[in-house]
Structures are given as structure tokens and as C-alpha cells.
Chain A
Amino acid sequence: MNDGYVRKGIWTDLTPAEKSYLIQHPWQIDEIWEAAQTALAEARSRFPGAGLHNGSGDAFRHCYWSALLARDIGPSGAFEFTTAHEAYSSNPAGERAMDLANNAVGIRIGRDNPEATDATLAALCHAALLAGELTTAPPAPGQPYPY
């Protein structure tokens, strides 16, 4: 097996902070994994083609992922893990701020709707996007960070 990026595998692709979180919360591994897969699939459906990498698709993914986590492992755990996910040295500050801002909206949605279905959480995140509550681009030079 080579040690290239694609073949690194699951463990080596985690940030140190994510590894620490998962070691301390191994019973949440399935839920965290499933939430990510659900969010990716929903984003593929709602933002097909090039929409996958535009700001709206990315913002929705982070919001929905975080909302699912807040519902399934609790807002505190969702905050801790999604923040750990962004904690790596090569993550540009603007992109990290954007992701954290959208995660925060998702965590609020999940916290406020603990009995919601996946579909409802997705709809709420999409509504947040349409309402301008999500951040769809990193801050331009000189602009304040959203988070």
C-alpha cells in the first residue's frame, strides 16, 4: 500500500483533535460517520454537478451535518467534534471561519429541533441558506470573519 493521500485511510485523515474526541467517545463513531454520509448524499441531491463545490453547497453540507450531530450526539458534542474537524494547521483561516459559522447555525437548528427527522433538518438548513443565514464564501481580504 502506498502512503498517498487517497490511500491514507480513515484514521490518518483525522485531525489530532478528532482522534482525541473519538477515543473519548467511541460509542459516537457510528453516529458521526452516518451524519457525514447523510449530509454528503443530501448535498449531492440538492446541489448536483458543479453545485457540489460552490459556496451554497458547502454551506448547506456543514449546516446539515452539524444539525444532525446536534440532534444525535447533543449540541455540546457536535460543537466539540465539528470544531475539532477544522483544527489543522493547513486549514486557511477564511475557510475555517466559514465552516465554523455554518456549523454553528446547524448546531442551533439541531439543538432547537431534537425530535426532527433528517428531512426536516435538511429543510431547515436549506431555509437558512435561502434566508441568508449561512456563509457562502470565505471573507475577502479586509472583511471581518463570520465566526
Chain B
Amino acid sequence: MAPARLAIGLAVLALLGAGAVWHVAASGDGGGTAMTFDPAVWRDEGRIYTDPFPRLAMAEALIAGGTLTGLTRPEVEDRLGPPTDTPYFADRDLVYWLSESQRGFGVDSHWLVMDFDGGGRVVRAEIVRD
């Protein structure tokens, strides 16, 4: 790769990174801001499929707070409702759709996935994309 071309690429990416930082700093409620879990909003089908896709920020808060770890399946479903009916992530124990892509250059969805230990309690909860 020509040095000039590499320099241009790195400069553009530096600007892109700066833009991302600005975007995050400037974002308001939802869509990039941690959001306290609200079970009514989580289950509100009039809101969860539209921007800013509030489930994503709420899931981040749940994971950051360790809220899901150690819960049983009934306890999770009591809080989050029934899991999403999907063939995706078939090797995970519990799956909730969160949002369409909010970052990056792709067209994926973000999902909350959980695994249970031998005792039937959540041992791992994470956000992944398909």
C-alpha cells in the first residue's frame, strides 16, 4: 500500500473515531445512553421496534449491573417476558431480540442471549449481533 494512501486512510479513520465519540457524547435519551430497566417499556411493542430501540440500552444496564446473573428461567421471564421465538442462536438457552444495528456499517440485529448452569441459573448474559 502506498504510504500516502495509508496516511489518508488512517486520517479518515481518526476522523471517524472522533465522530463516533462526538455522536456518543451528543446522544440524548436512549440510542446510546444507558437506560434503567423499565419492564413496561421492555414489553411495549409500540416502542421496542422503533428508534431508539430502548431494549438495547436497558439490556446493557441489566448486564452491567449483574441483574440477570443467578436468576432462574422463570425469574428471567417474569422480568423480561417470554423470549423471542427465533431459530437464531439455537445453542443459547434464552434469547431476546433487542434492536436493529445501532453502530457500525452493518445491517444486523442485536440480541440478549443467556446461558444457564447445571443448576438452572443464568451463568452468562451478553449482547451479541446476528
Write the residues of chain A forming the contact surface with B, with a CB cutoff of 8 angstroms.
1-2, 4-11, 13-14, 18-19, 22-26, 29, 32-33, 36, 39-40, 43-44, 48-50, 52-55, 58, 61-62, 65, 81, 85, 90-92, 94-95, 99, 137-138, 140-141
Contact = CB atoms under 8 A, between A and B. Distances in A.
Given A26-B8, A50-B49, A58-B130, A8 B103 contact: yes
Interface residues of B, number: 50
Nearest to B84: A53
8 contacts: A6-B57, A6-B102, A26-B8, A49-B45, A52-B109, A53-B84, A53-B86, A137-B87
Contact of A11 (B20, B32, B129): B20
A85 B49 contact: no
A94 to B, nearest CB: 7
Tell me whether chain A's interface is mostly helix, strand or loop, or mixed: helix
Interface in B80-122: 84, 86-91, 97, 100-110
A10 B130 contact: no
B80 to A, nearest CB: 15
B9 interface: yes
Closest CB pairs A-B (n = 9) = A9-B20, A26-B12, A10-B20, A13-B104, A13-B103, A23-B9, A61-B107, A53-B97, A26-B9
Contacts of A8: 103
B90 A94 contact: yes
A14 B109 contact: no
A40 B20 contact: no
B17 A36 contact: no
Nearest to A139: B87
A40 B57 CA distance: 19
Given A4-B64, A24-B1, A92-B91, A10 B49 contact: no
B22 to A, nearest CB: 10
Contact of A26 (B13, B88, B91, B107): B13
Contact of A22 (B13, B45, B102, B109): B13
